[in-house]
Amino acid sequence: MPDDTRTETVDDLERRLEMYRLIFESIHNGAMVTDADGTITHFNKFYGQFLGVDPQAQIGRHCTEAVENSRMHIVAKTGKAEINHSQLIRGQKMVVQRVPIVKDGNIIAVFGQVMFKDVRDVSKLARELSLLESKVKLYEEELLSLRSTRYTFDSIIGRSDAVNNLKREALRAAATNFPVLITGESGTGKELFAQAIHHASARRLHPFVRINCAAIPRDLLESELFGYEKGAFTGAKAEGKPGKFELAHAGTIFLDEIGDLPAEMQPKLLRAIEDKEFERVGGTKIVRSDFRVIAATNQNLESMLTTGRFRKDLFYRLNVISLHIPPLRERPSDITALADQFLERTAREANMERLSIDKDAERALRAYAWPGNVRELMNVLERSASALEGGVIRVTDLPFYVPHGKRRETSPQQTSLREMRSQSEREAIWAALQAAGFQKARAARTLGIHRTLLYKKMKKYNLPLQPPQ
């Protein structure tokens, strides 16, 4: 072999060895290598700095002499890797890995690495992973929900002056970080406006976190809002869990059904909103979160103030920007636009032909009082479309109580939603009985219910079994 070729080969070998040495020395948390007998062959500078010893002086020593509680020689004998094991050194628990190196079926060395110099680092990482896991889960749940958090102002359908004015007010609210209180009857679209405000705001790239104050058990509400530390209560996750306010950092938290918030939680919520900080249940560390609050309710909070069911200071803190969504019966001009938009979406999602409504059915929809508001309108149209033969919805395709119901002018403050629904149901049953000549089976078919249920409803509303003479 020529001398120049041999020199080049030696130079390449030296460069590779130098690269391997640099790589080993750059393992930040400390590493060492022993031979099959447990004698140290490599010991990097970070491990030496951590233990306070000269790395080069450890070469040639047995691993048990250089590092207390070492098991490198044991792994060399068993051939079984020890991943993320705990090792006590100088009274401090560390997390280490010991991996056998095999060549031609024989163990020739063992590589050991310190993964964490302090087990508290593992706890910190676990908390961070828990927070990320909760955020991912929250995002998945939101994406699976209807339209997720992708409602914008373009999603709000309506031709009435009331809706157009509301959209302008909400758009102005989106330009600020002030709390917003949205009021309106159930089914009017309060969350739709909340999401639209969020997505028109500077926080749109950050989480929109929703919590229903009425749906969470009283004893779990605090931990849902503020999270909890490990061991805070029986059944708690070992690593703890971040709360909704923590997950909403840099984004928006939507407190739905705020009127149902228990009295004992109201001062805690007030403090969190005012200070933008709180403690997890069972914890002592202050958690800070930058969030924007939007609350919604179908209750009259002002009347609740006089009875003490809702705190005045919390009400004034939430009611900085107020949006009231009028019920559908007060804006009949929106009914046709809502119906057309919903039927277009239904046809597209169900792969159906174009759906439309004839004039008589449209008049019936506009004349009905809609105690369930937009949510009830969507339900009626979906039921009608599911049983439709053809592409046009007619009066006969609507549930019986819609064209036969009477428009009510009673204000929601005078009559509750439950009373209005009961009144509509009673009128529908009475009309069906009259149309069927009080033949119960026929009336039940018209109403789409079982005859047994019809009898129960008749008894509930004190309706006669026979036509009045």
Give residue 402's pLDDT. 85
pLDDT per residue over 14-42, tens digit each?
888 888 888 888 887 789 999 999 999 99
3 state DSSP class of 140? helix
- Which residues are 42's β-sheet partners? 33
- Which residues are 21's β-sheet partners? none
CA 47 to chain centre: 44
Q: Which residue has the higher pLDDT, 79 or 87?
A: 79
Give residue 426's pLDDT. 79
3 state DSSP class of 271? helix
Closest CA to 181 of 261, 248, 287: 261
- Does the pLDDT at position 142 exceed 80? no
- Does the pLDDT at position 111 exceed 70? yes
- Does the pLDDT at position 121 exceed 80? no
- Does the pLDDT at position 292 exceed 50? yes
Give residue 63's pLDDT. 92
Give residue 466's pLDDT. 76
**Is residue 147 very low, low, confident or very high in pLDDT (cuts 50, 70, 90)?**
very low
Residue with tokens 């209807």: 146
pLDDT per residue over 415-468, tens digit each?
456 666 777 787 788 778 877 888 888 888 888 888 888 888 888 777 777 776
- What rounded mean pLDDT belongs to the chain? 85
Q: Are 401 and 352 in contact (CB under 8 A)?
A: no
Give residue 46's pLDDT. 87
Percent of the residues in the chain that have a pLDDT greater than 90, as a whole number: 42
Give residue 91's pLDDT. 74
pTM as predicted: 0.59
Highest mean pLDDT: which range of 111-120, 138-147, 267-276, 427-436? 267-276
For the four alpha carbons of 425, 430, 436 and 438, in that order, the dihedral sign comes to: positive
Closest CA to 71 of 81, 58, 61: 81
Provide mean pLDDT across the span 4-12: 68
Provide mean pLDDT across the span 306-320: 94
DSSP sequence for 37-73: TSBEEEE-HHHHHHHTS-GGGGTTSBHHHHSTT--HH
- Does the pLDDT at position 231 exceed 80? no
Domains in the chain (CATH in brackets) are: 11-117 (3.30.450.20), 123-324 (3.40.50.300), 329-460 (1.10.8.60)
Percent of the residues in the chain that have a pLDDT greater than 70, as a whole number: 87
pLDDT per residue over 364-422, tens digit each?
999 888 988 999 999 889 888 877 777 889 888 888 778 876 544 444 444 456 666 77
Give residue 144's pLDDT. 46
